[in-house]
Structure 1
Amino acid sequence: MKRFLIGAAVVAICLLGLRYAVYYGGFYLDLHPEASIEVNVRTDGKNILVRNEKGEFEKFIVRGVDLPSSIAGHFATDYAVDEDTWLRWFGMIQDMGANTVRAYTIYDDSFYNAFYEFNKNNNTPLYLLQGLQVSDYANSSGNDAYGAEFYAALKEDSIDIIDVLHGRKNIFLNRMKGSGIYRKDVSDWVLGYVVGNEWEPGTIAYTDNNAKRPSSYSGTYFQTVDDSTVFEAMLAKIMDEMVIYESSKYKVQKLMSFQNDPENDPFVYEPLYARQLGKFSHVNAEHLIPTEQLKSGYFAAYRLFEFCPDFSEYLVQDQDPGFKAMLDGLDKETYCQGYTQLLSEYHTMPVVITSYGFSSSRGTDTEKGPLTEKEQGRRLAEVYNEIVESGCSGALIASWQDEWGRRTWNTSYAVDIQNTDLWHDIQTDGQGYGLLSFEPGETESICCVDGDIAEWTEEDRVLEQDGISLSAKYDERCLYLLIGQEGLSRDSELYIPLDITTKSGSMKSDSHGLKFERGADFLLCIHGEDKSRLLVQARYESLRENYQLQITGEDPFVYFPDTDADSFLPIRMILQNHKLVAEDVSDDELLASKRYDTFETGRLVYGNGNPSDSTYNSLADFCYGENIVEVRLPWALLNFSNPSVMAVHDDYYENYGVEWFRIKEIWLGAGTAGQKEPIAMEALRLKGWGDKPVFHERLKQSYDIVKESWEK
C-alpha cells in the first residue's frame, strides 16, 4: 500500500509537472514532423486569400477596426472589459460591415472566450489580426532592440500568443498584458500576426548602428537580403521562430507581418528635410524575404497618419528603380497625398493599413480644427475607399471605442496623467477616435445642450437676481449652465464670471466694463451664435506659461501677469508644426518657421447637442431656447486637472508649471452688458465621483455613416 501511495504521488507530481510545462512553459513534442501544414489564409501576389466554406480560396479585403482593451473608468492595461461586453461589441462591429478586428497585444481570456462564442456557429465570422507590442519603456529606453525588456519580452509574447490562440495556455501576473486560463481555440479565425505597434525611431537607429549585433538572418521561413539592417534581422528572427513554433506544434500557418509607419518607412528624404522631419530610421518589408517553406504568406502593415504634407516633394527621386515614375503617378488629391498608393506600388506583397482614424473630440492639435461625428464618419468612409482604390488590401479604423485614458501631447501638461481614465476630457484629441462613445450617466446624460429645460429642476438653481436666473450641474465630462432671462434673444449679451481658484482672479474686466463680487478666473460671454466664447484671466492662462516660448519666442517668466490682472484673454490650444524650410531662407524666416500656431478652443460652437435629435451637432457648446440658453463647459477648459476629485491648477508662476490642488466649490454669477453694480456671485458646491465614474454606451453618428458605406 505504501509503495502504491508513493507511486501514485510520483505519477501525480509528474502529471502536474507535465501540465505546468505544457500550459505555462509551452513544452511540446512534435510526434508527426512530416505532417502537412494546414493553411486557411494565404497571399497571392498583392492579394490576401481566405478559404471559404467550399474549401476554395477567395480574395479578402480587410474591413475592420482596432479594438483596444479599454473601457471608461479604466486604462487599457487594466483589461476591465468583460466577456459579455466583448460579445456585444463583436455583434455591433459585424453589423457595421466589418470582417476583421485587431488586438494590440495579449488580452485577458475574456476576449478570446467571447471571440470563440461569437464565431463558433457564425457562417460569416469575424477574423482577428493579433498584435504584439513591447512596453513604452522598452521602446523608448536607452537600450537597443536586443535589450532584455525589448527582444526577450517580444520573443516570450510571440510564443505565448500562439498558445493563447490555440487554447493551450495559462498566464498569471502578466505585467501590462492580459492574463487568464486560455482554453478556447480561436485559431481558425486568425488572419495573422502583426509584430509591434509603434516603433520608436531612435531605438531603431541605435539598434542599426550597433556593430555587435547581426545585420542578417537566414532561417527556415524568413531570411534577409544583403543590405538589410540589424533591426530588420531581429524582426526576421522573431517572425521565423513564430512560424517554426506554430508549424511544428499545431501544424498550421498564419500570415505574418510587422508594424510600420511613415516615420520608419523605407522611403528616403532629401537630407535637409529628413533632419527637419526627424526621419533617420528605415525599416523595409522588402528586406525580409519569405522562403518557399512559408505556405501562408507575408504582408506589409502600416499605421497611417499625416506625417509630412506634400511629402513626395521632399523624397529622393531615384532611390529605387522606377521610384520616380511612382511619384509622378501619385493621386495627390487623396488623404496623405497618395501615400497609400505609393506603398501599394512600392511593395511586392499585400499592404494593409492597420490603423487610421479621425477624432470627434472638441479639442484638436491641427489647424483644420475639430470634426463633428458626421464629419468623422464621412472622412473614415472616404479614406477607406481611397485606401482600397489605391491598391491596398484593406484597412482598420482606429478605433472601435473612445478611450478616456488616452493622452495627447498638447493637453498632457494640463491634466493629472495618472487619472485620465476617470473622466472624459473632450479637450484631448486622443480620446475621441472611437465609433462608440462612453457617455456620462447610467442610462442617459444629465444634460443635453438643446435649449430644452426639461432636465433642469429647482435644486439646480444657483442664483436668481435682477431678472436673471442661473442653474448649474455637472458630470464626468462637463459643467452645465442654464441661464434664464425674460426676453432673452440672440442679440442679448450675458456675462457669467467663474471663480475657480483663490490663488488669482480679477474683480473687474475693464474691456467689458464689468465688476465682480469675487475675483473671477473665467468670463463666459454669451452673445449670439457667432460671438460667444469663454475667456480666461491673464494670470490663469495655462498656455502662456507652458508654451509661450514655442509660440512667440518670449520667456513667460521674464514678465508675467499679476494675480489680479484685469485682462481676460481668449483660450487657445497649441497646434502641430509641420513647416519645412529650404536652404536659402533668411534667419528671420527660419525663426518664424519654428513658431507654433494656436487654435481658439474657448470659442463656443452653437447647435443642438442632443444625440437623439435629427439636427444633432456633437460639437455644440450652447443652444438657445425660449428665454433661456444652455451651455456646456468642458472641465479642462476651466483648468481642472482631475475633476474626479475636483483638482484644479495652482498658480503657474509660483510653481513653475502645472501643479494642482483640490477645491470644494466654484463661484458663479450672471450679469448683462452695461451693468453698473458688481455682478453678484454664489457658490456651487462640488463633490467628485472618485474612481467610480458612471457611464453608458452610445454609437456615434460616424458608426452609421461607416456602416452605410461598407454595406454598399
Structure 2
Amino acid sequence: MNRRLTGVKQKKSRVKWVSLTVLMVAGISYLWWYWDSSRVESMESASGFHMKFRTTGDQIEVYQDQKWQPFFVKGVNLGASLPGHYPGELPITKEDYLRWFAMIDEMGANVIRVYTIHPPAFYEALVSYNRQKEGEPLYLMQGIWSPEEMLIEKKDAYLPEIREEFRHEIQDAVGAVYGDITLPEKQGKASGKYTANAGPYLIGWHTGTEWDPVMVQNTNKLHAKSASYQGAYFRTTEQSTAFEAWLAEMVDTVAKEESKQGWQHPMTFTNWVTTDPLSHPGEPLYQEDLVSVDPTHVKAASWEAGYFASYHVYPYYPDLFRHDTALQQVKNEAGEIDTYKAYLRQLKVYHKDLPILVTEFGVPASWGIAHLGNLGRDQGGHTEKEQGEINAALMKEIGEEGYAGGIVFAWQDEWFKKTWNTMRYELPEDRRSFWINVLTNESLFGILGMYPNKDGVLNIDGDRSDWDKLQPEEKQKLNLSLPGFEEIWMAHDEGYVYLMAQLDHSFDSQKEQLYFGVDTTPGGNRHAPELGGTKLDEGLETLIRLGKDDESEARIASNYDFHTRLYGKAYGMLPLKEEEQRDDSGVFKPWKLAVGLAMEPPDSKKYYPMEEVDAGKLLRGTSNSEDPNYNSLAAWQAKGKVVEMRVPWMLLGFTDPSSLTVMSYQGEGKTFKTVTTKGIRVLPWIVNREKLQTTSLPESPTPFRVTELPLYSWPTWEQVRYHERKKQSYSILQKAYREIKPSILQK
C-alpha cells in the first residue's frame, strides 16, 4: 500500500517535472528570441519607448554607436509567391527566406519591404539571419494591406465593415512583427503561431495600398464634415480631406498597437503619382490627376519616432512622364531631358522638411511592354542588363534629389501576376501561375529570376550538343522529309516552345530566309505570299520568319489576331479590313501589344490615338547566361547547319499551355473563347532570296497535307519545374547600391 502510494507520488512528481521542463524550454525559447532581438542598439525616448529609427527634418535617422545618424534606405520589395503558386498559398519556406536574405544582403540592400503579413517562417528567418550576421542587420519595412477590393467596389472608406477589417489587419500585423499573436487559418492569409520578435529590426510601418482616385473623391464627398482627426499620436491639419482624416486614424491605430509593445517606429502610408498632391496640367487623363492624398495634411502629434511620405514612382506611368511639359525642363548628367528626375525634384520641393521614400521603382526584364516611358524607360522590353542599368540610374537620381531612400521593385519574379494588355488572353485565369508568360511584364520585375526548367539546359546558341543530352521523354523528333532539312527536334517548358533544325547546308541569313508555319487549331491561312504557289489542306495560325535582324519575327493570321479582334472589333480603336477578317485571308499580321489606349474627351483633355508595339520581333543572340554575349531576350541563333529557336507560348496562340488551351477563332466582343488543342504541327521551308522562291515546298494543284505532319504533343501539368538565378541586373544594382552617395548623407 505505502509502496504503491510512493510510486504514485513519484509518477506525479515526474509528470510535474516534465511539464515544468516543457514550460521552461518554451519560456527560454521565447526569451531567446526576444533577448536576441533586443540586442539591437536602441535608445529610450523621453516617454519611455524604445527607438531605433526616427525622422528628423527631411531625413530618416538610425541610432548607432550611441548617437543618431542619417540613414539612407537602399531596399528591395519582397513578394509572397513562387512559381506554381499564388501569394495566398504562402509557399515560401524559412530556408528560402534565409537564402534570399543572404543574397539581398550581398547585393548591398539594407531594407526589405513586405506588403502584408508573411508566415511565421519569415520573421523567424529574419531574426535568425540577423542574429548570426556581423555588422548592421537587414531591416524590415512592414506593410499593412488595406481592404483594397472593398474600397474600390464600395467607394467609401468610412463604411463600418471596411474600417473594422482594416483595424483587424493592423492588430494582426503588429502582433506578427513582435511575435505576439496566433493567427487562425484563413483563406489567402498567413496563419500560425508568431513567436519571433522582429520588432527591433523594424525601420517603419507602411500602411495601406495604392488608392483608387474615384474612391478617394467619393469618400471626400460623402464625408465632407469628417475632414478632421485628432488622435493620441497622429492628427490632421486644417487643410485635410475626409479621406486623409480616415488615413490619419488608421496610422494612429498602428501607433496605438505598437505602443503596447513598448516601441516606436516611423510611420507612413502608401501613395502613388496618381493621387499625389501636385498638379499635372499635361496629364492626358482626368482620372490620373483627379484628386490628391496629401501626406503633409497628416502630422505626428506625440509620436517621437516621427512620420515620412512614401510614393510608388515608376518612370512610365501615368502618361504625364511623356506628355507634361512642366516636367520637360530638367536634364540629367548626359544632357537629356529627364522627366523622372524633374518629377522627383518637384515632389521633394513640395514636401519641404518631410522625409520622402520612393518605396517602389523599377522596370521589368520582359519581352512584353505595357507602357512607354521617357528615355526608353518603358514598362518592359528590356534585357536583364538594361533592367539593371535603368534601375541603377533611377536609384542614383533618387539619392541625388535628396530623398531618404528607394526600394526597388521587386526581389523575385512572380508568375501569377497579370498585366492589362495580356490578361484577356490568359485563359483560364486561375492557371496563370502554372506557366510564365514573358509577354506579361508584371511577371518579370524580379532581380532574382524564376526561370522555366529548360533555362540553362537548352541554350539558344546554335550548338545542338545540349539537345543530344536531353532524355528521350524531354524531346521529340519530327519525322519530316522535306528538301533542305536533315533533322528537326522540338521540346518545351513552362515558358517556351523550343525547336532545333539541322539543315543540309549552312544557313546564311543574307542569302535565304527560314520559315516555320505553326498550326494548333482548325482554321487560319492555307495560302499566303510567303508560301509561294503552295496551297495547304489546313491553315496556319502563326508564321515565323528567321533572316536578317530587322525581319526575324512571329506573325499571326489576320482573322486569328486577337489584338485586332479586341481593339478593332470590340473597342473600335483600330481600323478593320473586311478581307482580313475572312478565313484563309492569306495575310499574316505583325504580333502587336497595346501600350496605350485611344483617349478622347470627356475622359481626356484632347484626343490621343491608340499606341501599340510589335511584340513578335525575334532577336538573334544567345540565351546562355554563362556567355559574355548573353541576351535574356534572345529568340534564335544559327551556326553552320544548326538553327535553334525558342518562342513564347502566347506568340503561338496559347492561353494556357499547361492545359493545352489555345485561343479560338470564335467569340465576339470583349470576351474570348478558347479550345483544347491536340498539340503543335510545324511546317518548315526555306526561301532563296535570289530566286525568290521556296526551295522545300512543292508547287502542286494538290494541297500540301499539313494534317499529316507529325504532331508535337505533351501531357498537361499541375506542378511546375523551375529554378532561381540572379539576373544580370543583380550585379549592376549591387554596384549602384555600394557606390551611391546620396545627398542626404552629404549634408
For normalisation by structure 1, the TM-score amounts to: 0.87
> Does structure 1 retain, via aligned residues, the 8 Å contact 2:458–2:466?
yes
Establish whether residue 450 from structure 1 lines up as the match of residue 461 from structure 2: yes
Cα deviations by residue, 1:174-205 (Å, 9 ceiling, x for unpaired):
34331111000010100110111211111111
The percent identity for this pair of structures is: 27
Establish whether residue 505 from structure 1 lines up as the match of residue 524 from structure 2: yes
Q: Measure the CA separation in 2 of the matches of 1:139 and 1:584.
A: 24
The secondary structure found in structure 2 opposite 1:263 is helix
> Does structure 2 retain, via aligned residues, the 8 Å contact 1:577–1:595?
yes
Task: Report the Cα offset of residue 158 of structure 1.
Answer: 1.0
> Does structure 1 retain, via aligned residues, the 8 Å contact 2:286–2:604?
no
Q: Measure the CA separation in 2 of the matches of 1:558 and 1:287.
A: 57
Q: Quickly say closer, same or farther: Cα 1:660–1:103, change in 2 above 3 A.
A: same
> Does structure 1 retain, via aligned residues, the 8 Å contact 2:179–2:198?
yes
Partner in structure 2 of residue 76 of structure 1: 87
Partner in structure 2 of residue 602 of structure 1: 616
Partner in structure 2 of residue 480 of structure 1: 498
The secondary structure found in structure 2 opposite 1:575 is strand
Instruction: Give the letter aligned to residue 643 of structure 2.
Output: V
> Does structure 2 retain, via aligned residues, the 8 Å contact 1:273–1:580?
no
Partner in structure 2 of residue 288 of structure 1: 298
Instruction: Give the letter aligned to residue 255 of structure 2.
Output: V
Instruction: Give the letter aligned to residue 312 of structure 2.
Output: R
The secondary structure found in structure 2 opposite 1:115 is helix
Instruction: Give the letter aligned to residue 518 of structure 2.
Output: L
Q: Quickly say closer, same or farther: Cα 1:654–1:202, change in 2 above 3 A.
A: closer
Task: Report the Cα offset of residue 616 of structure 1.
Answer: 0.2
Establish whether residue 104 from structure 1 lines up as the match of residue 109 from structure 2: no
Which of 213, 216, 223 aligns to 1:204? It is 216
Partner in structure 1 of residue 27 of structure 2: none
CA RMSD of aligned residues (A): 3.2
Q: Measure the CA separation in 2 of the matches of 1:578 and 1:518.
A: 36
Greater Cα shift, 574-583 or 531-540: 574-583
The secondary structure found in structure 1 opposite 2:658 is coil
Instruction: Give the letter aligned to residue 163 of structure 1.
Output: G
Establish whether residue 36 from structure 1 lines up as the match of residue 45 from structure 2: no
Q: Measure the CA separation in 2 of the matches of 1:515 and 1:495.
A: 15
> Does structure 1 retain, via aligned residues, the 8 Å contact 2:569–2:669?
no
Cα deviations by residue, 1:320-351 (Å, 9 ceiling, x for unpaired):
xxxxxx99889784352411122222112110
Which of 484, 492, 495 aligns to 1:467? It is 484
Partner in structure 2 of residue 524 of structure 1: 544
Partner in structure 1 of residue 105 of structure 2: 94
> For 1:530-549, what aligned pairs fall within 5 Å after superposition?
530-548=550-568
Greater Cα shift, 667-676 or 552-561: 552-561
Instruction: Give the letter aligned to residue 441 of structure 2.
Output: D
Partner in structure 2 of residue 695 of structure 1: 722
Which of 342, 347, 352 aligns to 1:343? It is 347
Which of 361, 367, 391 aligns to 1:362? It is 367
> Does structure 2 retain, via aligned residues, the 8 Å contact 1:221–1:244?
yes
Instruction: Give the letter aligned to residue 734 of structure 2.
Output: K
Instruction: Give the letter aligned to residue 92 of structure 2.
Output: V
The secondary structure found in structure 1 opposite 2:535 is strand
> Does structure 1 retain, via aligned residues, the 8 Å contact 2:480–2:710?
no
Establish whether residue 216 from structure 1 lines up as the match of residue 228 from structure 2: yes
Task: Report the Cα offset of residue 448 of structure 1.
Answer: 1.8
Establish whether residue 121 from structure 1 lines up as the match of residue 132 from structure 2: yes
Task: Report the Cα offset of residue 699 of structure 1.
Answer: 0.5
Q: Quickly say closer, same or farther: Cα 1:414–1:159, change in 2 above 3 A.
A: same
Runs of 5+ unmatched residues, structure 1: 1-11, 13-22, 24-32, 318-325
Q: Measure the CA separation in 2 of the matches of 1:238 and 1:200.
A: 17
Partner in structure 2 of residue 565 of structure 1: 585
Q: Measure the CA separation in 1 of the matches of 2:711 and 2:462.
A: 22
Task: Report the Cα offset of residue 538 of structure 1.
Answer: 1.3
Instruction: Give the letter aligned to residue 484 of structure 1.
Output: Q
Partner in structure 2 of residue 307 of structure 1: 317
Partner in structure 2 of residue 134 of structure 1: 146
Q: Quickly say closer, same or farther: Cα 1:283–1:339, change in 2 above 3 A.
A: same
Greater Cα shift, 299-308 or 208-217: 208-217
> Does structure 1 retain, via aligned residues, the 8 Å contact 2:545–2:554?
yes
Task: Report the Cα offset of residue 564 of structure 1.
Answer: 2.5
Partner in structure 2 of residue 643 of structure 1: 657
Q: Quickly say closer, same or farther: Cα 1:463–1:496, change in 2 above 3 A.
A: farther
The secondary structure found in structure 1 opposite 2:132 is coil
Instruction: Give the letter aligned to residue 290 of structure 2.
Output: F
> Does structure 2 retain, via aligned residues, the 8 Å contact 1:532–1:603?
yes
Q: Quickly say closer, same or farther: Cα 1:620–1:584, change in 2 above 3 A.
A: closer
Partner in structure 2 of residue 428 of structure 1: 440
Q: Measure the CA separation in 1 of the matches of 2:651 and 2:324.
A: 38
Cα deviations by residue, 1:132-181 (Å, 9 ceiling, x for unpaired):
12244213112401234532221111121111111110002234331111
> For 1:616-635, what aligned pairs fall within 5 Å after superposition?
616-635=630-649
> Does structure 1 retain, via aligned residues, the 8 Å contact 2:592–2:616?
yes
Runs of 5+ unmatched residues, structure 2: 1-18, 20-29, 31-44, 688-692, 740-747
Q: Measure the CA separation in 1 of the matches of 2:322 and 2:457.
A: 49
Q: Measure the CA separation in 1 of the matches of 2:614 and 2:652.
A: 14
> Does structure 1 retain, via aligned residues, the 8 Å contact 2:490–2:712?
no
Task: Report the Cα offset of residue 460 of structure 1.
Answer: 2.9
Task: Report the Cα offset of residue 446 of structure 1.
Answer: 3.9
The secondary structure found in structure 1 opposite 2:489 is strand
> For 1:163-174, what aligned pairs fall within 5 Å after superposition?
163-174=175-186
Which of 346, 365, 383 aligns to 2:394? It is 383
Partner in structure 1 of residue 246 of structure 2: 234
Partner in structure 2 of residue 683 of structure 1: 710
Which of 295, 307, 329 aligns to 1:298? It is 307
Q: Quickly say closer, same or farther: Cα 1:209–1:648, change in 2 above 3 A.
A: same
Which of 191, 202, 207 aligns to 1:190? It is 202
Task: Report the Cα offset of residue 679 of structure 1.
Answer: 5.8
Q: Measure the CA separation in 1 of the matches of 2:572 and 2:231.
A: 55
Count residues with an aligned counterpart.
667
Greater Cα shift, 651-660 or 412-421: 651-660
Task: Report the Cα offset of residue 686 of structure 1.
Answer: 2.0
> Does structure 2 retain, via aligned residues, the 8 Å contact 1:545–1:653?
no
Q: Measure the CA separation in 2 of the matches of 1:668 and 1:603.
A: 19
Partner in structure 1 of residue 25 of structure 2: none
The secondary structure found in structure 1 opposite 2:190 is coil
> Does structure 2 retain, via aligned residues, the 8 Å contact 1:552–1:595?
no
> Does structure 1 retain, via aligned residues, the 8 Å contact 2:330–2:338?
no
Q: Measure the CA separation in 2 of the matches of 1:106 and 1:467.
A: 59
The secondary structure found in structure 1 opposite 2:479 is strand
Q: Measure the CA separation in 1 of the matches of 2:320 and 2:242.
A: 30
Instruction: Give the letter aligned to residue 186 of structure 1.
Output: A
The secondary structure found in structure 2 opposite 1:439 is strand
> Does structure 2 retain, via aligned residues, the 8 Å contact 1:451–1:630?
yes
Q: Measure the CA separation in 2 of the matches of 1:582 and 1:178.
A: 43
> Does structure 2 retain, via aligned residues, the 8 Å contact 1:215–1:229?
yes
Q: Measure the CA separation in 2 of the matches of 1:174 and 1:551.
A: 40
The secondary structure found in structure 2 opposite 1:112 is helix
> Does structure 2 retain, via aligned residues, the 8 Å contact 1:449–1:620?
yes
Instruction: Give the letter aligned to residue 624 of structure 2.
Output: N
Cα deviations by residue, 1:233-277 (Å, 9 ceiling, x for unpaired):
011111112212222x2211011000111100111344x957535
Greater Cα shift, 670-679 or 195-204: 670-679
Partner in structure 1 of residue 734 of structure 2: 707
> Does structure 1 retain, via aligned residues, the 8 Å contact 2:579–2:585?
no
Task: Report the Cα offset of residue 406 of structure 1.
Answer: 0.4
Q: Quickly say closer, same or farther: Cα 1:583–1:259, change in 2 above 3 A.
A: closer
Task: Report the Cα offset of residue 312 of structure 1.
Answer: 11
Task: Report the Cα offset of residue 470 of structure 1.
Answer: 2.0
